[in-house]
Amino acid sequence: MKVFQTNEIRNVALIGAAKSGKTTLAESMLFEGKVINRKGSVDDKNTVSDYRPIELERQISVQSTLLHTLHEDKKINIIDAPGFSDFTGDILSAVTVADVALFTVNTQAGVEATTENAWRQAEKANCPVVFVLNQLDHGNANFDEAIRQLKDYYGEKVTVAQYPLTTGEGFNSIIDLMLMKMLKFPAGGGAPEVLDIPAEEKDKADELHQMLIENAAAGDDELMEKYFENDTLSLDEMRLGIRLGLIQRGIFPVFCAAVKHGIGVHRLMDFIVHSCPSPDLMLGRNTTADRNFNSKVSDPAALFVFKMANEQHLGEVSMFKVYGGEIRETQDMINPRTGNKERISQLFVVNGKNREKVEKVVAGDIATTIKLKDMRTNDSLMDPKIGDDGFEPISYPEPIYSTAIKALNSADDEKLGSSLQELHRNDPTIIAGLSRELKQLIIKCQGEYHINTIKWYLEHMYKIETEFITPKIPYRETITKAARADYRHKKQSGGSGQFGEVHLMVQPYFEGYTDPTDFPVRGKEEHKLSWGGKLIFNNCIVGGSIDARFMPAILKGIFERLEEGPLTGSYARDIVVYVYDGKMHPVDSNEISFKLAGRHAFSTAFKNAGPKIMEPIYDLEVRIPEDMMGAAMTDLQNRRASIMGMDSEGKNQIIRARVPLAEMDRYSTSLSSITSGRGSFSMKYIEYAQVPMDVQAKLLKEYEEKQNEED
360-393 pLDDT, tens per residue? 999 999 999 998 999 999 999 999 998 789 999 9
In this predicted structure, what is the pLDDT of residue 707? 82
In this predicted structure, what is the pLDDT of residue 209? 97
What CATH number should be reported for the domain holding residue 453? 3.30.70.870
Look at residue 704 and tell me if it is in a domain.
Answer: no
Q: Say if residue 235's pLDDT is above 80.
A: yes
Q: Say if residue 650's pLDDT is above 80.
A: no
Does the CA dihedral 309-314-319-320 come out positive or negative? Answer: positive
Closest by CA to 465, choosing from 516, 415, 518, is: 415
Q: Say if residue 95's pLDDT is above 90.
A: yes
Note down the domain range covering 237. 6-281
| Spatial contact of 33 and 70, defined as CB atoms under 8 Å apart | yes
Is 599 found in the same domain as 625? no
Residues of the chain with pLDDT > 70, as a percent, come to 99
Is 361 found in the same domain as 334? yes
What CATH number should be reported for the domain holding residue 305? 2.40.30.10
Look at residue 22 and tell me if it is in a domain.
Answer: yes
In this predicted structure, what is the pLDDT of residue 254? 98
Is 344 found in the same domain as 247? no
What CATH number should be reported for the domain holding residue 57? 3.40.50.300
| Spatial contact of 661 and 616, defined as CB atoms under 8 Å apart | yes
In this predicted structure, what is the pLDDT of residue 311? 83
Closest by CA to 52, choosing from 411, 320, 309, 435, is: 309
In this predicted structure, what is the pLDDT of residue 495? 67
Look at residue 702 and tell me if it is in a domain.
Answer: no
Instruction: For residues 304-308, give the mean pLDDT.
Output: 96
Burial of 290 (0-12, 13-18, 19+ CB in 10 A): exposed
Is 178 found in the same domain as 119? yes
Q: What is the pTM of this model?
A: 0.89
| Spatial contact of 320 and 314, defined as CB atoms under 8 Å apart | no
What 8-state DSSP symbol labels residue 84?
S
Look at residue 707 and tell me if it is in a domain.
Answer: no
Closest by CA to 555, choosing from 602, 517, 518, is: 602
Is 662 found in the same domain as 525? no
Is 230 found in the same domain as 100? yes
In this predicted structure, what is the pLDDT of residue 494? 65
In this predicted structure, what is the pLDDT of residue 711? 59
Look at residue 643 and tell me if it is in a domain.
Answer: yes
> For 396-449, how does the pLDDT look when each residue is reduced to its tens digit (9 = 90+)?
998 999 999 999 999 999 999 999 999 999 999 999 999 988 999 999 999 999
Instruction: For residues 635-656, give the mean pLDDT.
Output: 91
Is 606 found in the same domain as 621? no
- The number of domains in the chain is 5
In this predicted structure, what is the pLDDT of residue 96? 97
> For 553-573, how does the pLDDT look when each residue is reduced to its tens digit (9 = 90+)?
999 999 999 999 999 999 999
Cα–Cα distance measured from residue 424 to residue 87, given in angstroms and rounded to the nearest whole number:
13
Is 623 found in the same domain as 582? no
Is 419 found in the same domain as 370? no
Q: Which of 261, 281, 301 is the last residue of a domain?
A: 281
Is 493 found in the same domain as 382? no
Q: 3-class DSSP state for residue 104?
A: strand
Q: Which of 362, 386, 410 is the last residue of a domain?
A: 386
Cα–Cα distance measured from residue 518 to residue 459, given in angstroms and rounded to the nearest whole number:
63
> For 579-592, how does the pLDDT look when each residue is reduced to its tens digit (9 = 90+)?
999 999 988 999 99
> For 173-189, how does the pLDDT look when each residue is reduced to its tens digit (9 = 90+)?
999 999 999 999 998 88
Look at residue 55 and tell me if it is in a domain.
Answer: yes
In this predicted structure, what is the pLDDT of residue 530? 93
State which amino acid sits at residue 179: L
Is 605 found in the same domain as 514? yes
Is 122 found in the same domain as 16? yes
Does the CA dihedral 71-72-77-83 come out positive or negative? Answer: negative
What CATH number should be reported for the domain holding residue 679? 3.30.70.240
Look at residue 495 and tell me if it is in a domain.
Answer: yes
